[in-house]
A and B are shown apart, each in its own frame.
Chain A
């Protein structure tokens, strides 16, 4: 409670007082100091923890994956590109068999070469508990990301074969999660992952040169990086965990860091007023209410779902968030390559909403009552309390009365895993859970697939629809990327046309930086490229 009060008081105090503050000092010499939102340095051994931020700062910096995300453009949606694999293809006669050509001439930071055998060794690290290098911590992070992988073998030094359990065209997206650590380094460290954590070795554009747990990590450029365009221009990048938003903002304003992730919306005027730059961009994130589709749920009626979607003034909500939001037009952000052309226009139209509710049998004399599960805070949840209160008010204005069940974030994750039918959710008919929606599986399939109904998977609302399942199957069996994109668009159109979620907004990943920082291009992705950044000395 006190921490909550602290946050409120601090935001107000900082916003008001700092507006008047003067010049900002700094002492960076080719060094970028970053204040992260994480409470600790992400796991350094390869497969990172700390969610998207871990992958962003300790994953795609120190390591590479076989297939990577293109992080070069701010204007177009991020797509997959070759990483440690230069090309990949599926066997037309046996669509469970994939062949990947491994990039030649790549070396780990310790000097050892990267080969197909190393890729196999890394899969074993995550998937085979009997292997010598099996690491439960990395496995906990990586195993669930590659459900399709059944087996793998090196055909030669530069050819890798992966077999999937069933034909699965989303494998390349799954492989973009898996980061490759050095076998030679692990052996040199006595085959001990705790020792590797202190001095890890990947193939990425940055090398970790030291870290103090919970306080800082130092990265320097890997000047021998295989992609010359991604050799960092900075001398050094220092990562500091600064979980408290006000401490982050104060650190930036006082010149102790040059860059902070996720400044609180209330502090943006203070930051921009003092010459700091706040950058943001659309990326695959959404803020929705995931609806229960159990038999007794009022959300089973498409008219009710559409009415709720038409009741929310998203532009007003954007103002509440200091302009740092993309109003939802669908489940995916409008700039997504898979958005398609849905016919249901997600907009603010309270009269149409009331008409739909009346058609469904609700009205001033018979308001619709729903129970919604929310949390007061949480990773990626933006500002859940004021935002949910805003949604509650909007829905009340068209005749939907919302009762909240508020639980702390860690418990919320458990209730999300448990699903709508679990007694622990106490009859709640929706859950406000923000989503990482970067690839076909995390973006669409996992939320509504019949075989993933909670608690066996992440289909919280127990939705199951034959036509949707058929689309999901098509996504997995369409191996031509363009044709697969077309199916993904069609799937998303169904998400929107049937108003399967209460689609509210998308985050824009704001980050604030000193005016000395230059050359950063914010990709439409959870991960970012720090190689092009320079800092004025």
Chain B
């Protein structure tokens, strides 16, 4: 297991470096100018040149990359061009808020998805199976930003039960687990949970259905195992793939909630990223993408290790 873990950790390094190069290049290839965010549009060419030099944007790209990655390796992601605040502070605050949202959505989505998927797989080709499949396909197909707007209209505007935006009455800096704050979390978390519910349910349904039709299940019954024991084998065989899907979904939830965070004005990494893109705030953009990709890589690593722990065949391969 230790060797496996070390091997997987070594794989993470080139992936992280590759991600950092790609994200650096992508943000530089995009047309636009980060100075737009910090200078009046009619600033003179001379003033722009001075500012470009002050931010090191006049240096060759490889030099800029080397400086950036060198500092990033030491934990210094630089300062946002648009706000002047340290990127690390901005990103970690936003990631913390996104994690809060992503984990809340996961807590809603994964049990429901697993439960529905398992039942649908178990009762395959029954009316219940078809109902769950319909729910799952709807969940995956409905644009979640649209759903978010509909939920806001119903629960915030019409009924006035839940707030439509923000991360608490005093902002995310004062987050506590009381109702005044948690009510801000409900609508975005539910909206965000809809897609993973569908994906997890569909995956688990297919897995459980397939496993039940495998020869070894018949063999287990033939050996005289009780139904409950057979189910345990089915679950154990389905777990690695289900875990992998849930791990990836958690990664997507964290990095892929730009639209939801925009709809609900949730001060998370997606919201930060979208603002950084529009402002061409290169340090902020690079820092956010890097942290999110490292988180994604980290999630994959955790899932891989967990899979290996559950299923020894993976470790051997």
Asked whether any CB of chain B lies closer than 8 Å to the CB of A9, the reply is yes
Q: A3-B274, A140-B39, A251-B265 are in contact. Are A213 and B83 (CB under 8 A)?
A: yes
* B32 and A254 contact, CB distance less than 8 A: no
- The smallest C-beta distance from A396 to any residue of chain B, in angstroms, reads 29
* A215 surroundings in chain B (CB, below 8 A): 166-167, 171-173, 267
* A216 and B149 contact, CB distance less than 8 A: no
Q: How far is the CA of A21 from the CA of B272 in the complex (A)?
A: 32
Q: Which of A64-72, A101-109, A236-244, A482-490 contacts B (4 or more CB under 8 A)?
A: A236-244
* A214 and B267 contact, CB distance less than 8 A: yes
State the total of A-B contacts with C-beta under 8 angstroms: 171
Q: Which of B37, B40, B259 contacts A2 (CB 8 A)?
A: B259
Query: Size of chain A's interface in residues, with CB distance under 8 A?
Result: 62
* B14 surroundings in chain A (CB, below 8 A): none
Query: Size of chain B's interface in residues, with CB distance under 8 A?
Result: 57
* A216 surroundings in chain B (CB, below 8 A): 170-171
Q: A215-B173, A251-B164 are in contact. Are A40 and B149 (CB under 8 A)?
A: no
* B163 and A2 contact, CB distance less than 8 A: no
- The chain B residue sitting closest to A246, CB to CB, is B149
- The chain A residue sitting closest to B276, CB to CB, is A39
Q: How far is the CA of A135 from the CA of B163 in the complex (A)?
A: 39
Asked whether any CB of chain B lies closer than 8 Å to the CB of A145, the reply is yes
- The smallest C-beta distance from B36 to any residue of chain A, in angstroms, reads 5
* A13 and B149 contact, CB distance less than 8 A: yes
- The smallest C-beta distance from B32 to any residue of chain A, in angstroms, reads 4
Asked whether any CB of chain B lies closer than 8 Å to the CB of A446, the reply is yes
Q: A9-B146, A255-B160, A413-B36 are in contact. Are A457 and B31 (CB under 8 A)?
A: no
* A197 surroundings in chain B (CB, below 8 A): 84
Scoring B residues 11 to 40 as 1 if CB is less than 8 Å from chain A, else 0, what string do you get? 000000000000000000001110011111
Q: Which of B44, B165, B265 contacts A457 (CB 8 A)?
A: B44
Scoring A residues 401 to 444 as 1 if CB is less than 8 Å from chain B, else 0, what string do you get? 00000011111011011000000000000000000000000100
* B165 and A256 contact, CB distance less than 8 A: yes
- The chain B residue sitting closest to A413, CB to CB, is B36
Q: Which of A20, A251, A410, A455 contacts B36 (CB 8 A)?
A: A410
Q: Which of B150-158, B190-198, B299-307 contacts A (4 or more CB under 8 A)?
A: B150-158
Q: A39-B278, A212-B173 are in contact. Are A254 and B40 (CB under 8 A)?
A: no
Q: A40-B83, A144-B44 are in contact. Are A6 and B265 (CB under 8 A)?
A: no
Q: How far is the CA of A325 from the CA of B271 in the complex (A)?
A: 31
- The smallest C-beta distance from B91 to any residue of chain A, in angstroms, reads 12
* B265 surroundings in chain A (CB, below 8 A): 242, 244, 247, 251
* A137 and B149 contact, CB distance less than 8 A: no
Q: How far is the CA of A410 from the CA of B32 in the complex (A)?
A: 5
* A212 and B171 contact, CB distance less than 8 A: yes
Asked whether any CB of chain A lies closer than 8 Å to the CB of B51, the reply is yes
Query: Most chain-A Cβ atoms within 10 A of its Cβ — which of B83, B163, B170, B263?
Result: B83
Scoring B residues 253 to 283 as 1 if CB is less than 8 Å from chain A, else 0, what string do you get? 0000011001111010001101100111000
Q: How far is the CA of A13 from the CA of B259 in the complex (A)?
A: 16
* A40 and B40 contact, CB distance less than 8 A: no
Q: Which of B42, B83, B146, B170 contacts A458 (CB 8 A)?
A: B42
- The smallest C-beta distance from A142 to any residue of chain B, in angstroms, reads 9
Asked whether any CB of chain A lies closer than 8 Å to the CB of B47, the reply is yes
* B36 and A414 contact, CB distance less than 8 A: yes
Q: A25-B160, A140-B38 are in contact. Are A247 and B32 (CB under 8 A)?
A: no
* A5 surroundings in chain B (CB, below 8 A): 143
* B172 and A2 contact, CB distance less than 8 A: no
Q: A40-B83, A410-B279 are in contact. Are A140 and B47 (CB under 8 A)?
A: yes
Asked whether any CB of chain B lies closer than 8 Å to the CB of A14, the reply is yes
- The chain A residue sitting closest to B82, CB to CB, is A40
* B153 and A18 contact, CB distance less than 8 A: yes
* B153 and A14 contact, CB distance less than 8 A: yes
- The smallest C-beta distance from A459 to any residue of chain B, in angstroms, reads 10
* B173 and A144 contact, CB distance less than 8 A: no
- The chain B residue sitting closest to A177, CB to CB, is B40
Asked whether any CB of chain A lies closer than 8 Å to the CB of B85, the reply is yes
The 8 closest A-B pairs by CB, nearest first: A410-B32, A212-B171, A254-B156, A215-B171, A250-B164, A411-B31, A39-B275, A17-B153
A residues lining the B interface (CB < 8 Å): 2-3, 5-6, 9-10, 13-14, 17-18, 20-25, 39-40, 43, 49, 51, 136-137, 140-141, 143-145, 194, 197, 212-216, 240, 242-244, 246-247, 250-251, 253-256, 407-411, 413-414, 416-417, 442, 446, 455-458
16 A–B pairs (Cβ distance < 8 Å), ordered by A: A5-B143, A25-B160, A49-B37, A49-B82, A140-B47, A141-B40, A143-B43, A143-B47, A145-B40, A212-B171, A215-B171, A250-B164, A256-B166, A408-B31, A413-B41, A446-B42
